[in-house]
Every structure is written in C-alpha cells, then in structure tokens.
Structure 1
C-alpha cells in the first residue's frame, strides 16, 4: 500500500447527538489504521465551546476541544441527533460557513445535514438525513435535494442517515481512498455481513412520509409489498380501496412523485437486489420470485435502475465476500500512548498491508 498523507477528521458534536452514529463513523477509521498498520486517519471531537455535551441516550461526552481550538481538519462532520432544530445557533452557522470558504469538505451524520442545510451549505447538493426528518427537510429547504439513500457523497459533501448508516458511508469512503479490499477487511472485522451502497435506501415507514392522512395509499403500498412475486393488476388495486385507476395514478403522483407502476417496479427491484446480494438464488429463479415475466426483461429493468446488470452485481458481491485469513502477529506493548499505539497490540495490526505484500 503506498504511503499517503494522513486524513484528519473533526466530528462536531451537537447537544443530544446520537452516540451509535458517531461510533459507526469513527470505528471504521480506527480499524483502517489497525489493519493497514499505519496511520491513515486521525480524528478529533469538538463541541462548539469545548464543554462536555450529552448524547441522546444521556451519556456525557467530554470533547477534545472547542471548534475554534480544534486542529485543522480535512473533513468536518456535524453530528446531530434529537431536537436538531433547537441546536442550530447563529454562531455555529457562521463558523460552518467560514469552513466552507476554506474549501473544507463538510459532512452531516444522522440529522447533521439539517445544520448544513440551515447554513445554506447544501444548496444545489443532494444529501441524506435520518428518515424521520426527510419530510421536514424537503419542506424547509427547497434548494436541497433530500435523498432517501442511506448515505450520499456529492462533491465536497458527505452525509448519512443515522444508526449504522455512517459505517456504510465510511467503508465506502475508505474504499475510495485506499481500495475496496481494505474496506472489505474492515467489514469482516466488524462481522458486518454486507456493505450497503448509495443505492440502498432507508427503510422508511410510509406513515412517516405521508402522516395519517392517506390510509388508502398506505393500504395499497402494503398490498404491493406483500405481492411482489405475483404483482396485482393496478385496476384491481384501485378497486380494492374503492378508487378509480385515475384517482390511484393522481394519488401516487401527488404523494410519492411517481406512477403506481413505477413504484411497484421499484419495490420488486429492491427486493431482487437484496436476494441477489444475500442469497445464492440463481438470476433466473430470482426474476420469477420478483414478478418478472422473463430473465431478459428483469436484467434490462435492473440495469436501468441500478446502473449495472444483475450478473455483474452478483459477481462483484461474490468477490467482496471472499474471506482472506489475516496474518497473525501478536505484539505485546506497554500502556499505549495513542489510538494507533493501542492498535499495535492487536493481532490484526498491519495484517492487511502484509497480506497485500505477500500477494505481490
């Protein structure tokens, strides 16, 4: 692996940020250093004024510094959580805008993208946010394209939804920086069965997208989800909820911004992708299970939606899941002085780099 400058990352913690999202973002960086046997990434935490801050689960966190006293960073992530609207201050907005003027790469974790949008730093960009805030962001920031994807990398903006989605974003980011083999090895260390991509969407309960005002639409979508192998004719769906076909079309266009047939196709393709990546089911059988009349038709639809044919997707997934046994080299050290020093005591320290060397 060629030596590259260390990438420094600053995590700005806001009041009631989600601890699991922060951990999901930081741990892949730690493991990248450990497996490579060198310091690829360096990270710091900061609250705006440097004082301790509470996570959403009530755990108090003492940051490394205030934002003004923090070391210079290549990337700045805003870590949000609950009550995000009440944590955005004019001082924070001013500071973030200044970082953008310095051409810093900016990111948002969980609800952190709300803060970037509030500062006007996502205008003209696509971003991800936790699904609870999708509708609110779409309503509040007309110049921002809010995506239901788990994470979004759009030029100098890196945003993810909450929970474990930041791990997928960081694994993808590390793969871009240092190769997919390293990110796959990190995934194996975390017993993370599948690295999800930007094409993977959050599982968003429809009631959070529509509220409680569209029970018929929710009922139709539930029927669609339960009948992917044998799709129900749209006329029959409309009749089931006592609507005309035209009313059904208008309802989907108004609330889901697509036709019912397009929405149904998307559900089937997403299900097909899950089966393709997670099971050994043949593509021929998979097409039948997801309601396609023929394998060529399935392959055409899949390629148009995901950008790759299902055969290539299956091959890439198989290559990523080939497990390489790490080289074991236990090193006993005194009390570590840093995160990297601590990693040296792990059996897997440098194993990825040594494996690459042995493979030539």
Structure 2
C-alpha cells in the first residue's frame, strides 16, 4: 500500500542542484528474515534503498527487519541481524520481502503464515527473495500469480505445490507480488522497484553507485547456459542434455533420446564420450541424482517419494545408486 506522493524538492549529492521532480513520501520496506537467510541476497536488496536515500538527500525508504519471534537472526555467513516480531509489523508497510535460505524445516514457524496472510489482506505488497517464494506459496499467496525462486529451490517448491510453476527469471513483478532468485538478482529487482517509484534516471544513478552498470532484465536467466555449464556446443547433444533435465521423473531411453535429437544411437554414444567423458546412462543418472540431492535437503518428501520423483523404480534401487554416487545413503544425507 503506497502513501500519497508529496511534492518536495531535494538537493542531490551528485550535482548539488535542486531536483524539481516530486519525491514520494517515505516507504516502509520490511524484510522477514528466516534463520540461515542468504546474507548476499539481503545486502543486495537493502543497499540500493540506502543509496536511494543518500542520493535523494532524504529518507525515501525505511528498512524494517522482522522475524517470527523477534530477536537476532543468524545469516548464512554467521552475521546476526536484530529483528522485531512479525506480529508487530505496522499497517503502514509498503512491501514485505521474505528472505529465506536452504533449510525447509525452518521455513515455517507458529503463527508466521497467518501473519503473512493478514499483511496481504491489509494491502501490503508481498515479496520473496532466494527461497522466500516457498514461504509465500505455503501461505497461499501465490495462486494465479507469476513468480520466481532460486533455481536450487525450484524442485522442492514444485514437488510441494504441484499447481504452482515458478518462472525461470531473475525477478518477477506481478502487481502486489514481487519475487527474485536471490544472489545479486535483488540489485536488478531493486533497480526496477526504485525506477517504478522515482523514475528510470534516478534508478540508474543508484545502480551506478554500486558499479552495477549491466542491470539485468526481469526475464534474464538465473544460471549459465547448458553450453557453459557442460562446456558443450554441439546442438544435438545440448538438446539431449536439456531433455534430460526436464524428464527426470520419467527418464527416456537411449533410443528415444537419439530419435529426439535426430541422431543414431552410435552417434549419441560417441558425442557423450567425446564431449563429456561419460556414457549416456552415467550422465542421465547423475542429473537425476543431483535433483534427488536437492529434494532430500529441501523438501519434506519421503525417500520413497523422492525415488519415484527422480525416475527410480523403487527406493532400494535409488538408495544403492545414491550411495554409489555420494558415499552415503539417502537417509544419512538427509541428516547432514
């Protein structure tokens, strides 16, 4: 919920000249911090707000930190951030971002989801940073909305909420929902948010303050391309690798993949050997097991459910394959 703009003139640090454009009233921007939240993502979100205040010469944004119960919250790198209980968040909040890390067991706390739903009913714009969209989904706040989440957490969200589909984007703004994949993507998201409030020229000045000269677009990729990740440039092999990543639950046979790529099975085998040094089956199994590893640490699915979600016929076969690859059983990996 935005406050009504007020006509103000400000003296800017860059030129010392008066800026004749009206400057909106202060927006209260809240950050709901969950234990082990990613410090880089949080800093990338709050620092542009600080710079905006500095360059405007007045408090355009006020940052407020919250947690489920209040007190100090430990970040992923061990930094403590003091917070206020979420239940005390005021109706004057303009936006609340949920900043979460990679431990699903800590994504929910007593009363937290109810408080988020209450804030949304009040008209507070709700946002998610890194895996924060998972919390919004758990609160039922992403229905019929476009959103994104860090690529590492997307499998857990899709398994837990099969009716939701995150976008493969750096950030997504859909009305009163605003989400980003974390890392340095909040710099891009905040550029868009500041531009929305104060104009593109001012947002560019804020980005320049952090040497952020290449501002990413909303739909930009979160990860390097397949070609970069696998160091492969053969179009047929890239088609097969992409198909592998999208058919984890229902693996395709070697013959099916060869037909899909318009290759013979001998050509397919030769491409995997020459470019990856692994066979078709070894590569496919690795893709599926890496997916399983994410589900083990980030979802509440049982080991049997994870086995089926990654294309294994039963949990015993899955457990043997997982231990061969990583040296520990799936049940042991979940406890690490």
Instruction: Bin the TM-score by the shorter chain.
Output: 0.5 to 0.7
Q: CA RMSD in A?
A: 2.8
Output one character per residue of 1:127-180: Cα deviation in whole Å (capped at 9) or x when no partner: 111110112212221332301101110111000111111111011111111111
Shift of 1:221: 4.0
| 1:65-120 deviation per Cα after TM superposition (whole angstroms, max 9, x unaligned) | 21123443111111101203433124111111111111211001111110000111
Aligned to 1:168: 188
Matched-pair contact (CA < 8 Å) for 1:110–1:163 = yes
**Match for residue 240 of structure 1 among 244, 267, 275:** 267
State the secondary structure of the residue aligned to 1:74. strand
**Residue-by-residue CA offset, 1:227-277 (whole Å, 9 max, x unaligned):** xxxxxx95348763269xxxxxxxxxxx9xxxxxxxxxxxxxxxxxxxxxx
Is it true that 1:137 corresponds to 2:157 in the alignment?
yes
Cα pair 2:32 2:98 within 8 Å, conserved? yes
Which residue does the alignment assign to 1:301? none
Tell me if 1:69 matches 2:96. no
In structure 1, C-alpha distance between the alignment counterparts of 2:111 and 2:87, rounded to whole Å: 11
Residue of structure 2 aligned with 1:9, choices 18, 29, 47: 29
Q: How many Å apart are 1:188 and its aligned residue?
A: 1.0
SS in structure 2 at match of 1:138: helix
| Aligned counterpart, 1:125 | 145
Normalised by the size of structure 1, how large is the TM-score?
0.58
Per the alignment, residue 156 of structure 1 pairs with: 176
Partner Cα distance (1:171, 1:84) in 2: 29
Structure 2: where are the runs of 5+ without partners? 1-20, 227-235, 243-259, 271-286, 288-336
State the match for 2:284 in structure 1. Answer: none
Q: Which moved more, 1:137-146 or 1:115-124?
A: 137-146
Match of 2:198 among 178, 182, 189: 178
User: How many equivalent pairs are there?
Assistant: 226
2:136 counterpart of 1:109: no
Is the CA contact 2:24–2:197 (under 8 Å) kept in the aligned structure 1? no
Task: Give the SS at the match of 2:147.
Answer: strand
Q: How does 1:157-236 map to 2 (within 5 A)?
A: 157-203=177-223, 220-221=240-241, 234-236=261-263
**Contact kept? 2:23, 2:198, Cα under 8 Å:** no
Query: Structure 1, unaligned stretches of length 5 or more?
Result: 207-215, 223-232, 244-254, 256-360
DSSP 3-state at the match of 1:15: coil
Q: 1:237 to 1:162 in 2, by over 3 A?
A: farther
Partner of 2:166: 146
Q: Which moved more, 1:166-175 or 1:234-243?
A: 234-243
Deviation at 1:31, TM superposition (A): 0.8
Whole-angstrom distance in 2 between the partners of 1:109 and 1:9: 13
> Aligned partners of 1:158 and 1:31: how far apart in 2?
20
- Post-superposition offset of 1:3: 2.6
Query: TM-score when scaled to structure 2?
Result: 0.62
- CA, structure 1 residues 151+239, in 2 after alignment: closer, same or farther (shift >3 Å)? farther
Contact 2:86/2:112 (8 A) holds in 1:
no
- 1:36 equivalent among 56, 62, 81: 56
- Residue 123 of structure 1: how far off its partner (Å): 1.0
The higher-RCO structure (CA 8 Å, 6+ apart) is 1
1:87 is aligned to 2:107: yes
